[in-house]
Amino acid sequence: MASNQEEVTLLGVTRSPFVCRVHIALKLKGVEYKYVEESLFNKSDLLLKYNPVHKKVPVFVHNGKPIAESLLIVEYIDQTWTHNPILSSDPYQRALARFWSKFIDDKVVGVTSKAVFTVDEKEREKNTEEVLEALQFLENEIKDNKFFGGEEIGLVDIAAVFIPFWIPMLQEVAGLELLTSHKFPKLYKWSQELINHLVVKESLPPRDHVFAFIKRRYESLFISK
Amino acid sequence: MASNQEEVTLLGVTRSPFVCRVHIALKLKGVEYKYVEESLFNKSDLLLKYNPVHKKVPVFVHNGKPIAESLLIVEYIDQTWTHNPILSSDPYQRALARFWSKFIDDKVVGVTSKAVFTVDEKEREKNTEEVLEALQFLENEIKDNKFFGGEEIGLVDIAAVFIPFWIPMLQEVAGLELLTSHKFPKLYKWSQELINHLVVKESLPPRDHVFAFIKRRYESLFISK
């Protein structure tokens, strides 16, 4: 359990969907924390000290103890500040939430980037197909629930924040059709609910900032060297 | 909590290190279960029904409810049968155990297979380097502890069963040097402790069976088509 004298720090980069997950979890719990912006092109000593294995953000530091990997951080936050639960107390529901969160990492987030940031048309097509197949699984899974977590947002919704906020920008930049109300009506409806959730809204990075980064990265693919 | 009237089934293939993890967890807890051997070349209706997303083993079925992904299954088993704990009750220790288990999946298991099952020498070298780097992290992490879990085996030891049992066969077949007492004295010592642990011993597949499979797969790389 958390005491009153907490030192809570999050190392992140603003544009990262993984960092955004941690912001959401902390704000859901009402935990006060210090946010430190990192540069992935010039990694700080703090980042290298706290995540010597992967040297990636987010890193969460609680009273001097570091944790890496966004989903593990969210689970830790949920276990440490136990009000407004993010995970169910039922072991089976927990297993399912972890399954779909991992699914989103393995089949949606990375694959979407591969579909967007490539000059190889075959590679793009293959990965686009794979993302659409994954989104179809999520469309079937959300059913008519407000959130994956039910009436309140849970681990899967937090893991999936990439879908309503990042995917629309990525598909716009690359001219792809991934998340549309036509293809995935239920998932699209969920995506609007999520992005308008008060806590999620205040946890998202500025759209212009992220869009500019994505656009620059995409355009740099087509600059001959 | 578990009741007395349990239906516990594990779908697996004998040679899989991921399936072995579930055997270890169930035997640690003393849970009786039915084991069903699957064929990955001719997947059963049961497997397709219970794991429609990935269509992979292991699948664990508890009173009709399926769970996929070996690490999630082990956590579920630990939460359902709470004696002989596999994970600490401390949130920070849990986060660390999950971190290293995921590290083993991401940086050891898959990468070792890539180092072994390739005809491309550069690919082999690159992946061998990566495995050695990962094993060095584990060497530093085990320190002088008997197990990653301390005096008793825990989640990381279970996740890492690939290292003492599968890696020696893989390196023998491919003529690589990965886990040696010279390179990684502490990890090697741990590997001997783990493989001689009574519960682990009775959970391992027959060595000859696994070795023959690895050899066949390796040799098939060099058969021209």
In tens, the pLDDT along B11-24 reads: 999 999 999 999 99
Predicted pLDDT at B149: 86
**What number is the average pLDDT over the span A130-141?**
98
Average pLDDT over residues B187-208: 98
Cβ separation A95–B103 shorter than 8 A: no
Q: Write the pLDDT tens digit of every residue in A72-84.
A: 999 999 999 999 9
Dist CA B69 CA A98 (whole Å) = 10
State the average pLDDT over residues B133-150.
Answer: 95
Give A95 to chain B, closest Cα distance, Å: 6
Q: Is the pLDDT of residue B78 over 70?
A: yes
Those residues with Cβ within 8 angstroms of residue B184's Cβ, 6 or more apart along the chain or in another chain: B135, B136, B138, B139
Please check the confidence at residue A3 and state whether its pLDDT lies above 60.
Answer: no
Which of B72, B75, B99 shows the shortest C-beta gap to A68?
Answer: B99
Name the pairing type of β-strands B34-37 and A34-37.
unpaired
Check pLDDT > 70 for residue B115: yes
Contact B95 A102 (CB under 8 A): no
The answer on pLDDT for A197 being more than 60 is yes
CA nearest to A76 within chain B: B91
User: Cβ of B210: how many Cβ atoms within 10 Å?
Assistant: 20
User: Which residues of B fall below an 8 Å CB-CB distance to A?
Assistant: 53, 62, 65, 67-69, 72-73, 75-76, 79-80, 91-92, 94-96, 98-99, 102-103, 137
Mean pLDDT of all residues in A53-79: 97
pLDDT at B224 over 70: no
Strands B59-62 and B65-68: antiparallel
Whether the predicted pLDDT of B62 surpasses 80: yes
Mean pLDDT score, A123-134:
97
At residue B27 the predicted structure's pLDDT band, cuts being 50, 70 and 90, is very high
Would you call A75 and B98 a contact, using CB atoms and an 8 Å cutoff? yes
Whether the pLDDT of residue B126 is over 80: the answer is yes
**How far does the CA of residue A81 sit from the closest CA of chain B (Å)?**
10
Contact list, A72 vs chain B (CB under 8 Å): 95, 98-99, 102
Q: Which of A217, A205, A200 is nearest to A37 (CA)?
A: A205
Chain B residue numbers with beta carbons less than 8 Å from the beta carbon of A79 are: 91, 94
A68/chain B closest Cα distance in angstroms: 7
Structural domains in chain A plus CATH codes: 8-80 (3.40.30.10), 91-220 (1.20.1050.10)
- Residue A4's pLDDT is 58
> Quick check: A75 and B62 CB within 8 A?
no
Q: B53 contacts in A (CB within 8 Å)? A: 103, 137
Residue B2 pLDDT > 60, yes or no? no
Q: Is the pLDDT of residue A1 over 70?
A: no
pLDDT per position as a tens digit, A90-104: 999 999 999 999 999
pLDDT band at A223, cuts 50/70/90? confident
By the 8 A CB rule, do A204 and A165 touch?
yes
- Residue A149 has a pLDDT of 86
User: Would the pLDDT of B198 be above 60?
Assistant: yes
Task: Say yes or no to pLDDT of A212 above 80.
Answer: yes
Give residue B41's pLDDT band: very low, low, confident or very high (50, 70, 90): confident
Q: What confidence score (pLDDT) does residue A162 get?
A: 98
Most A CBs within 10 Å: which of B99, B101, B139, as the mutation test of the A interface?
Answer: B99
